[in-house]
């Protein structure tokens, strides 16, 4: 029996670009076709076909003198639903202590809208943006990008992030970690992420967005984590509430496992 046919190359490029647009990666405009063709290692006509589909869906505009720019959407429509999380923070710290980390970048930058919104900041407010790759003995399994208000990250940088989980560093600055909200979706590896995870562009990834609050319920960290599904899994236990006819289930997070 024949397996499923692979997606056409233009469709893979389209899917990755659509995800990046949703994340606000191209607020200043998309790269030229030739640059995108080099990033995806495809012909220029393949990129053009992917862009034409994005235009047809109303996600980008192509205008002489302006290049290719995203079509602005309402902020509320761009935000996915996020589930409440409790009992996970200890596991996050534990995982950080049991894996190796490589810090790719750590800089104070103006907050993009996609990070400023969940942190309750004005777009352009200073935040510390850190990019890290975590690995086990089998190889890399996660590509993590975090944004922290600059005022809370003054006491640590690239050197400290290479030694300790960021939640411990925040607590050392006097931040009392309270709770987290998290969503888990799927996305495709792009040309920036794929090499760090030893994957091909277009490979399937688990995508985690996590918002950390302090004890006063103020956002202190916004995180995007991209995970190899063959090396990482997240387990939950569901329990029914009420009698035999009850249809309400509550979750208990067990662990985020990696191998």
Convert the pLDDT of each residue in 199-233 to its tens digit. Answer: 888 888 999 899 999 989 999 999 999 998 887 77
Residue 39 banded pLDDT, cuts 50, 70, 90:
confident
Residue 3 banded pLDDT, cuts 50, 70, 90:
very low
Predicted pLDDT of residue 238: 64
Predicted pLDDT of residue 7: 62
**pLDDT tens-digit series, residues 153-194:** 999 999 999 988 888 889 888 998 888 888 889 888 988 899
Predicted pLDDT of residue 85: 39
Predicted pLDDT of residue 224: 94
Phi/psi of residue 200, nearest 5 degrees: -85, 150
Place of tokens 């030694």: 163
Q: Is the pTM of this model over 0.85?
A: no
Predicted pLDDT of residue 4: 41
Domains defined along the chain, listed by start: 9-73 (1.10.10.10), 83-258 (3.40.1410.10)
* Beta strand spans in the chain (E): 60-63, 67-70, 83-85, 100-110, 126-136, 139-149, 177-188, 204-214, 219-227, 232-241, 248-258
Residue 121: CB atoms within 10 Å: 19
Contact 144, 132 (CB under 8 A): yes
Q: Percent of the chain beyond pLDDT 90? A: 36
13: buried, middle or exposed (CB in 10 Å: 19+, 13-18, 0-12)? buried
Residue 171: CB atoms within 10 Å: 15
């Amino acid at each position: 029996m024949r397996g499923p046919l692979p997606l056409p190359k233009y469709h893979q490029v389209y899917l990755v670009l659509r995800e990046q647009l949703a994340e606000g990666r191209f607020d200043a405009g998309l790269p030229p076709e030739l640059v995108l063709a080099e990033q995806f290692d495809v012909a220029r006509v393949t990129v053009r076909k992917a862009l034409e589909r994005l235009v047809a869906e109303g996600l980008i505009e192509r205008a002489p003198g302006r290049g290719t720019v995203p079509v602005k959407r309402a902020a509320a429509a761009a935000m996915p639903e996020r589930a409440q999380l409790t009992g996970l923070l200890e596991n996050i710290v534990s995982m950080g202590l049991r894996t190796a980390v490589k810090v790719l970048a750590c800089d104070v930058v103006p907050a993009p809208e996609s990070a400023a919104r969940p942190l309750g900041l004005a777009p352009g407010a200073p935040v510390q943006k850190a990019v890290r790759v975590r690995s086990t003995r089998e190889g890399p399994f996660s590509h993590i990008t975090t944004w922290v208000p600059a005022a809370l990250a003054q006491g640590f940088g690239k050197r400290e992030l290479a030694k300790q989980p960021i939640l411990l560093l925040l607590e050392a600055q006097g931040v009392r970690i309270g709770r987290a909200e998290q969503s888990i979706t799927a996305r495709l590896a792009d040309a920036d992420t794929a090499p760090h995870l030893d994957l091909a562009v277009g490979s399937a990834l688990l995508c985690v967005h996590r918002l950390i609050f302090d004890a006063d319920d103020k956002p202190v960290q916004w995180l995007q984590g991209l995970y190899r599904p063959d090396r990482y899994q997240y387990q939950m236990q569901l329990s029914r509430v009420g009698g035999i006819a009850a249809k309400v289930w509550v979750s208990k997070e067990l662990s985020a496992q990696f191998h």
